[in-house]
Structure 1
């Protein structure tokens, strides 16, 4: 059995709709996101079930989409994974509200500048906004790039200056996968790290 098959079995045995899933994507940009937040985590989405099959709703390049669970899990490197959830089990109505809030964002373009105030989406913003709109629960922390860098001095400023074409927009608001990963409102169900 492959490591990903084993992980998928472990996850599906405990998964509930609305669970938030965290992975580590092995690409240069995503590695910079993880390093810049002092974490292994670089991507996040949340689980839904349709016709007995599990999917992850996520904002990924190029748009917000619904991804089969096994495809989502295959993208993580070194089997790095965490599953977290709200402490109270979601009702059927709450799950439907999450799906409805996500549906309103399906197909929206990804924001490579990680601007929280844009109409475009990125992974942590998508999960944060869906939970806020559907359940009035704010998961993660919205902060400026300046606040983020000040609390994470290990971030590669040379990379981020180049990424932002020489000028980091210090007052731009953003939200990171790590801020959702460490949110004290959530309970950890699985963590392979």
Structure 2
């Protein structure tokens, strides 16, 4: 698996890049299991003008801005992927991304992963910021039923508890996995990121 320092990754980051990590706590681990992938959290680079890139993310308890180094440090085992729109955003689209992300800062996290709620969750946040700025939709909207049908061996016990015994099968959602697999994105990096200053 490729290795890179956070500094190297930061030097090549652009506004609009999607950054995927693996958060090692529930329910995020269960999201990765249900979607059959390693990743369970995603943010979007919205500023590269300072000392390091800034990632906008929807996380518990609300949407916020996080320096790339701190975002990467949260990933289990240092695993990180960086993906970019196949058609690079224009300078105007990058400004619109920043504005779209800023408008959503402070929005409460949706622990129900409901695409139609007034709250946000990570993959919805990133999808909407990109869509508002560029008109390009990334990721697949799926019902819980469709999502879990792709993973017939997925354990449902956690999700039954999470939804108090009633999994909302018809609820629409979008996952980090579907964003990572999206054909409108190119994978720029997928490997292990480390910070030599912390070694």
C-alpha separation in 2, matches of 1:79 and 1:127: 21
Please give the alpha-carbon distance, in whole angstroms, between the structure 2 residues aligned to 1:36 and 1:140.
16
2:178 — aligned with what?
179
Q: Secondary structure at the match of 1:192?
A: strand
Aligned length: 189
Task: Give the corresponding residue for 1:52.
Answer: 50
Contact 2:83/2:187 (<8 A) preserved: yes
The 1:116–1:63 alpha-carbon spacing in structure 2 relative to 1, beyond 3 Å, is same
TM-score by length of 1: 0.94
Return 5+ residue gaps in structure 2 as ranges.
193-199
- The runs of 5 or more residues in structure 1 that have no matched partner are none
Aligned to 2:150: 151
Counterparts of 2:185 and 2:123, CA distance in 1: 15
Alpha-carbon RMSD:
1.4
* Per-residue CA distance 1:66-115 (angstroms, 9 max, x = gap): 01111100000111110000122222101001111112211000000100
> 3-state SS of the aligned residue for 1:22?
strand
Following the alignment from structure 1 to structure 2, what is the Cα–Cα distance between the partners of residues 174 and 102?
19
* Cα deviation, residue 131, structure 1: 1.1
Question: What is the TM-score of this pair, normalised by structure 2?
Answer: 0.91
User: Given the alignment, which residue of 12, 22, 47 partners 2:10?
Assistant: 12
The answer to whether the 8 Å contact 1:55/1:66 transfers is yes
Distance 1:154 1:14, change over 3 A: farther
1:5-46 CA distances to partner (integer Å, 9 max, x unpaired)?
x53123113211110000001112111000000000000001
After the TM superposition, list the runs of 4 or more consecutive aligned residues in structure 1 that deviate by more than 4 angstroms.
none
Q: Which residue of 1 aligns with 2:86?
A: 87
What's the CA shift for 1:50? 5.3
In structure 2, the residue matched to 1:98 is 97
User: Is 1:117 aligned with 2:120?
Assistant: no
The residue that corresponds to 1:76 in the other structure is 75
Q: Distance in 1 between matches of 2:5 and 2:26?
A: 24
**Could you say what secondary structure the match of 1:165 adopts?**
coil
